[in-house]
Amino acid sequence: MEINVDRELLQMAAKAVGIELHFGENDYPHTKLGGLSVCWNPLTDDGDALRLAVKLRMELDLSYPEARAKGTGGWVDIDGEPEDEYVDTRRAIVRAAAEIGRSMPAPFTLPLADQAFADELSKVRSPLPLKGERV
C-alpha cells in the first residue's frame, strides 16, 4: 500500500485512541509518552494492533482466508494470501480504527481517560534509543 495511505490510516487510528502521532526519519511513526519518543505502528506490530483493538473494543473475525474488524462503519474485510494472515489482520484492525478516528470531531484533543492507555503502552514499549546508545 502507498505510504501516504498508510500514514493517514495510522493518524486516524491514533486519533481514535487519543494518541498524538508524529512521523520521524523515514516516515516512522512514534508518539511521546512521559517525554520519551516511543514507536507506535499497529500496521507492523502485533502488540500495537492488539492493544488498539482492545482499547476500541473491536469485534474481530479471523476466519481464513480473510480478516475482519468491526468499526463504526461496520465490518472492514481484508482478503489476503495465506502467508499474509498477520499483515491482513493488523490492517483490518487499523482500517476499522481509522473509521472511528475519522468519525470523531475535530480538532483533536487528548482525552484524560486515555492516559491509562498511554500508561499501558509505556509498560510494553521502551523508548527509542538515543543516537549512539546500545540497544
In tens, the pLDDT along 42-93 reads 999 999 999 999 999 999 988 766 788 887 777 887 776 666 888 889 999 9
Domain ranges of the chain: 3-124
In tens, the pLDDT along 2-55 reads 668 899 999 999 999 999 898 887 778 988 878 888 899 999 999 999 999 999
Identity of the highest mean pLDDT range in 84-88, 94-98, 110-114? 94-98
C-alpha cell of 21? 502521532
Q: Assess if CATH 3.30.2120 describes domain 3-124.
A: yes
The pTM score is 0.73
Which residue, 79, 86, 81, 3, is CA-closest to 50?
86
